[in-house]
Amino acid sequence: MKKNKIIISIILIIIILIVTLLALYFYKSKKSNNQIDSTRIYDENGQVIADFSKKDEVVETEENISIQGIVELHNNGYIYIFNGQHFGEFGFEMDEYTSANIVDKNQKCIDYMTLEEHDISYIQEGDILICSGDLIKKGYGGINDFDTKDNPIIVLKSNDYNKMEQAALTSNRKYPSVVTIGESYIESGYLYLKYTLEDDTNSDTVYNLPFAVKAYITENTIEKGELEEGKTVKVEYENLNEPLDNLKIKSIEVIGNE
């Protein structure tokens, strides 16, 4: 009798092991299939409209062009520029800027303001880079590469750029700016305002170097007109010493469409 119980126990253990192994097999198989499917987006007819598995494939190369962008990372031979600004985890993109990876080849760097030459270590996060070369576009979801070839990189240091921004915010005649509503989140009490900023310091080329602020509407804000995306506005702030992501609007008036 005792022997039968041992045999039955062994059989039950074997059955449990077999069921467990089968369950693990089907789970891994399903997970693998889901991972494959998650790299693609299909339309209602089952056609692939976006394939993230091809994000590293080159789809187009634009040769001998100029781009500019704000440095988000420069570390271990890797430079990444973003096509706009980040406000915490959220970003505001602008057509004038381009996102790209730039290979650190110890390129010569030229300071935008002083025209002094530096090595690649001169580039820091927050600087604006103006580059010439080839833009190598990747598949859907991939990050573009930019080959500067033998061209130097123009570096507008973040401190100099901040001074230009402050001058534009105070309507300084050196940097007259058109202000437009980039994105409106009235229900959350804030707007993204885009400032045009043109400059030709030490150059025959006029560079368009826009920036954005995240401005808050308070109970004391005076509003004139419908605050909608794309509209041109005239703005006055309560305190310009606040960071660009925490400016409070004293008054804002719609003066036209973009």
122-136 pLDDT per residue, tens: 999 999 999 999 999
Q: Report CA-CA distances (Å) from 31 to 18, 36, 37, 88, 141.
A: 20, 9, 10, 33, 22
Residue 57, pLDDT score:
76
More confident residue, 104 or 157: 157
32 pLDDT above the threshold of 80: no
**CA gap 31, 37 in Å, rounded:** 10
Mean pLDDT over 107-113 rounds to 95
Task: Identify the helix (H) or strand (E) that includes residue 32.
Answer: helix 2-37
56-88 pLDDT per residue, tens: 677 789 999 999 999 998 988 889 999 989 887
Residue 78, pLDDT score:
85
Tokens of 234: 């005239």
Residue 3, pLDDT score:
56
Mean pLDDT over 209-232 rounds to 93
Residue 143, pLDDT score:
82
Residue 47, pLDDT score:
54
221-240 pLDDT per residue, tens: 999 999 999 999 999 999 99
215 pLDDT above the threshold of 50: yes
Confidence bin at 49 (pLDDT 50/70/90): very low
Average pLDDT across the chain, whole number: 83
For residue 134, the cross-strand partners are 147
Residue 105, pLDDT score:
87
% of the chain with per-residue pLDDT over 70: 80
N-term to C-term CA, the chain: 91
Q: Report CA-CA distances (Å) from 178 to 6, 98, 111, 198, 237.
A: 86, 21, 26, 10, 16
Strands 109-111 and 153-156, by their bridges, are parallel
More confident residue, 40 or 74: 74
72 in Cβ contact with 91 (< 8 Å): no
Residue 186, pLDDT score:
84
Mean pLDDT over 84-111 rounds to 89
Confidence bin at 180 (pLDDT 50/70/90): very high
**DSSP category for residue 159:** H
118 pLDDT above the threshold of 70: yes
